[in-house]
Structure 1
Amino acid sequence: MTSWRIRDFHSADLDGILHLWETLKASDVDPVYALSEVLASCEKDHAVVAVQADRIVGAAVGRAAHDQGWIVFLATLPDFRGRGIGTALLAAVENSMSPHGLNKLSALMPESETRVEAFLGRGFALKKNLRYFERTIPVQRQELGALGQLGGRILARDQWEKVAGMRKEKELLERRLVLPLAEADLADEFGVVPPRAVVLFGPPGTGKTTFAKAIASRLEWPFVEVFPSRLAADPQGLAGALRETFLEIAELEHAVVFIDEVEEIASHRSGEPPSPLQGVTNELLKIIPAFREQPGRLLVCATNFIRSLDSAFLRHGRFDYVIPIGLPDRQARDAMWRRFVPPSVADAVDVALLVDRTEGFSPADIEYAARSASQRALEKAVYDDGGQTGGRPSVRAADRKGPTTQDYLDAIGETRTTVSHEVHQDFLEDIETLGRV
C-alpha cells in the first residue's frame, strides 16, 4: 500500500508548491517556467499534487491551448523520487486536461534523470537535438491600449545598430544611460542611481531624435513622443494636457519619453506681464521631479538652442546629463557614406573623397546629398536627356549600374549645409559651459 495519494490542487497548496520550487533551486536545477507562471497555472489551468498525510511531496502543472497541452512543472521531493510518483502525477494532470481534446502533450523540463524516467514511463518520447530558446516580451498586452492612446510605439530592435558612425556619442549613451537602466540590479550593487531625465543638445540635423529612438530600441522600452504643438489644441490648455499626458505615461511599466524642441515650452521666464508659455514652463518643472520618482522610465528632451532654456530647467536634480550631439567626425562620416552608397557600386566610389568633401555636414546633410545623387543617377540612366524632364526612356539604361563618385560630388556641391560655422562655434562653447556628461 502506498503512503501517498494524488489529488487536485487547492489554493491552500501554494506553500507546498513553493517548497517544491525552492527544493529544485537548492539542487541547482533551474525550472524552465518562471515561478509566477507556475503559480498562475496552478490557479487557472490544471494542477495536481501528491500528498503524504497533509504534506505535499510532489506536483504536476499543465496548461492547454487549443489541441496542444504543455507540462509546465513537475517536481517531487528528493526522498520520494523513484517511487513512481512522477508518472502518477503526469497521468493525473493529463486526465484533467483531456476534456480539451488534446492532440499532443509536450514538456520542456530541466535535465534530471528521475524526471526523464517519469516522462518515459508515461509514454512521452524524448526528442533529441532540440534547443530551447526564450525571449521576454518587453510590453505586456494590458499596456498596449494605454500605449496606443499616447501614440507610443515599440521600435525595431535594430535601431541602435542602424545609427551609422557616431561612435563616441553611442559609447557615451551606452555607458551613461543604457547600462544602468538595462542592468538596474547591477547598478544598485555599485550604488549607481539609474538616470531618469537627460537633455540632448546640438545643431539641427545632428541626429538627436534618432538617438532618442535608438535608446528606446536598445532598452526595448516603448517610445512615446510628446508633441507640445498638438497638446496646445486640447481644451485643458497646453499645461493641463501636458500634465494629463504624463499621468497616462505613469501607467506604463517602462517608457522612453521624448520631447523635441523643448525650448518651445521651457524657455527663459521673464517679462511683465508673464508670457502665456510661462505657466507651461512652470508645469513642466513640476512634472519632472514626479517623473523622476518612477523607475523604469527615461525622459529625453532635445533642443537646438540650449542657451534659450530656462536656467531652472537644466539644474542638477532635474536632469542627470546634458549631452552634446554634434557634427559627425571623419570616422562617422565614413560609416554614413558606406551605408548610403549602394553595394553594387561600393568598390567604384571613392568614399574617402566623399568623406573629405563633407566636413561640416550634419548626418541629415549627408543623407540628403546621397539620396540626391542616387535620384539623379537613376534619371540619367533611364532618360537620354541628362536627367532633364520631358526626355524619353533610353535603351541605354541597362548600361548604367548606379551613381558614380562624380554624381556624389555634384550633389555635395549643391547641398547647403544646415550648420553654419558660427552655429558650430556656439555649440562648442555650449559644451564647455552647459554640457554635463
Structure 2
Amino acid sequence: MTQIRLRDYQAADMDAVLRLWDEVRAEGAEPVYALAEVLASCEKDHAVVAVDGDQVLGVGVARAAHDQGWIVFLAVTASARRHGLAGRILAGLEQRMAPQGLTRLSILVPDQQQQYGALTKAGFQDRAHLSYFEREIPVKQRELAVLRELGGRILPRDLWGSIAGMRTEKELLERRLVLPLADPALADQFGVQPPRSIVLFGPPGTGKTTFAKAVASRLQWPFVEVFPSRLAAGPQGLAGGLRETFQSIADLDHVIVFIDEVEEIAGQRGGEPPSAMQGVTNELLKIIPAFRDSPGRLLICATNFIRALDAAFLRHGRFDYVIPIGLPDAAAREAIWSRYIPDSVEGEVDLAQLVARTDGYSPADIEFAARSASQAALEQSVYGADGSGIRGPSTADYLAAIDRTRATVSAAEAAEFREDIAALARA
C-alpha cells in the first residue's frame, strides 16, 4: 500500500460507506445504529475516512451528546486491518470532537463484531462486560487554549511500541515512570510516590527525545517541549520566559514537560563576575520544586553532557531519577535494522552482518545508513548502466552505506558515558 491518510468524509464517499456497511453485515455483525442514522451523521456530525489514493479503506462516524462522544459506525476493510487503521480513525475522530468540550469517547460493539483488539489498543475500556467501550479524552476544552499557547500536543498512542529494541531502557521507564504515574492509587497502596522530574543522559543520537515522547504517548498526557532559545528571544528574557511558561503549565491537569540540552540553562555556576546564565540556572532551580508540588505532571530533562550540569541541579529532591540512555546493544540494533529493510528484500539481506558492523552506532546513525543504502539502490536501479534492472537494496549496499556513515559517538565519548553511569546514574 502507498501512504494511507485520513481526511474528512465527503459526499462522494457514500458508496464506500455502504460497501463497508455491507462488509460488516456479511461477517455476521449487525451494526448497532441503523444505516439511515449512520448516513445522517456522516452529513451533519463527524465522519473520517482512511484512504489509499482514491480507495476508501475505513470509516469512522461519531456524534456528540452533552460531554460524551459516541462512535456511530467504525469499519475497516479486511485487507487493511493489520495496518492499525481502526486506531488511527478513532484518533482522528477524537481530534475533531475534543474542541466541543467532550470528556469521553464511547462505542457500543455488537457481540459478533471482532473490534475488541483495536479498541483496547486505542485506550478504550470494556465497561461491565456489556461490550460497551469508552476512552477518556486526555485534554479538556478549557486546556486546549493553554496547550496551543505553549505549543504542546497530544502524541499518537503507538510511539511506545514503535521504539525498536532498547528493551532494558523501555522496561526501566515502564516500571519507574509509567506504572506509578498511570495508576497513582495503586502506587499509593504500596507507599510509592510517583516521580515528578527525571534526567535522561547519554551520547547524542541515542533516542532521549524519542523516549520522552514515548512516555507521553504511553500515558496519553499532553507533551510540551520548552525551547530556551525561543524564550530568550522574548521580551522578558530567558529567566522570565521560563517562569511564565511554567506558570501556564500549571493550568494543565496532566503534562509531560521536556527540556532538551538542559546543560545550556543549568550549567556549572561559578566565576567572577557571575555570568548572565547563572541567573537563569537559579530561576530553574526555583521552578523545579514548585513544579513538583502538584501531581499529574512530569518534567523530563535531557542532556548529552551530564558533567556540564550544575551539581545542585542533580541533587536528590529535585530529580527522582537520573537515567542513562546509551548506544543500542546487538538485539536493539537488529530491531532497528529490521525496521528499515524493505519487505521485498527482507530474506535476502544478511542482517547479522549489518548488526555486527554497526557496533557503537547510535539509532540515528543506523537510520542514516539504512536510508542512504535505499537511496543508493534506487538510483542505481533507475540510472545505473549495468542493466541490473529494478531491485531492492542488497547487503553490499548496506555495508557500503555503513562505511560512508561516521559514528556519532567516539570510543572516548562511549568510555566517558560508562564513567558517568557509575558516578551519576540514579535509577
Q: TM-score, normalised by structure 1?
A: 0.68
CA drift at 1:207: 0.4
Q: Which residue of 2 aligns with 1:322?
A: 322
Matched, 1:409 2:402: no
Q: Which residue of 1 aligns with 2:422?
A: 432
Structure 2, gaps ≥5 residues long: 1-62, 71-106, 109-128
Structure 1, gaps ≥5 residues long: 1-62, 71-106, 109-128, 387-395
The CA distance in 2 between the partners of 1:330 and 1:164, in whole Å, is 12
The CA distance in 2 between the partners of 1:130 and 1:272, in whole Å, is 70
Q: Which residue of 2 aligns with 1:208?
A: 208
The CA distance in 2 between the partners of 1:218 and 1:212, in whole Å, is 10
SS in 2 for 1:135: strand
The CA distance in 1 between the partners of 2:189 and 2:332, in whole Å, is 35
The CA distance in 1 between the partners of 2:209 and 2:376, in whole Å, is 28
CA drift at 1:130: 8.1
SS in 1 for 2:172: helix
Superposition CA RMSD, Å: 2.1
Which stretch of the first structure deviates more once superposed, 162-171 or 375-384? 375-384
CA drift at 1:151: 0.3
Q: What whole-Å deviation, never above 9, does each CA across 1:12-67 have from its counterpart, x for those lacking one?
A: xxxxxxxxxxxxxxxxxxxxxxxxxxxxxxxxxxxxxxxxxxxxxxxxxxx9959x
Question: What amino acid maps onto 2:365 in structure 1?
Answer: D
Q: Which residue of 2 aligns with 1:276?
A: 276
Question: What amino acid maps onto 1:150 in structure 2?
Answer: L
Q: What whole-Å deviation, never above 9, does each CA across 1:190-236 have from its counterpart, x for those lacking one?
A: 00000000000000000000000000000000100000011001111
Q: What whole-Å deviation, never above 9, does each CA across 1:370-407 have from its counterpart, x for those lacking one?
A: 01001111111111357xxxxxxxxx68x323100100
Q: Which residue of 1 aligns with 2:223?
A: 223
Q: TM-score, normalised by structure 2?
A: 0.70
Q: 1:172 to 1:268 in 2, by over 3 A?
A: same
Q: Which residue of 2 aligns with 1:197?
A: 197
The CA distance in 2 between the partners of 1:326 and 1:212, in whole Å, is 14
Q: Which residue of 2 aligns with 1:389?
A: none
The CA distance in 2 between the partners of 1:230 and 1:65, in whole Å, is 41
Question: What amino acid maps onto 2:257 in structure 1?
Answer: V
The CA distance in 2 between the partners of 1:327 and 1:185, in whole Å, is 35
CA drift at 1:344: 1.1
Structural mapping, 1:227-266, within 5 Å: 227-266=227-266
Structural mapping, 1:90-169, within 5 Å: 131-169=131-169
Q: Which residue of 1 aligns with 2:11?
A: none
CA drift at 1:145: 1.0
The CA distance in 2 between the partners of 1:171 and 1:133, in whole Å, is 28
SS in 1 for 2:134: coil
SS in 2 for 1:134: strand
CA drift at 1:138: 1.1
Q: What whole-Å deviation, never above 9, does each CA across 1:331-372 have from its counterpart, x for those lacking one?
A: 000000001111111111111110000000000000000010
- The count of corresponding residues between Structure 1 and Structure 2 is 307
Question: What amino acid maps onto 1:421 in structure 2?
Answer: A
Question: What amino acid maps onto 1:353 in structure 2?
Answer: Q
Task: Indicate conservation of the 8 Å contact 2:153/2:224, yes or no.
Answer: yes
CA drift at 1:321: 0.2
The CA distance in 2 between the partners of 1:168 and 1:385, in whole Å, is 47
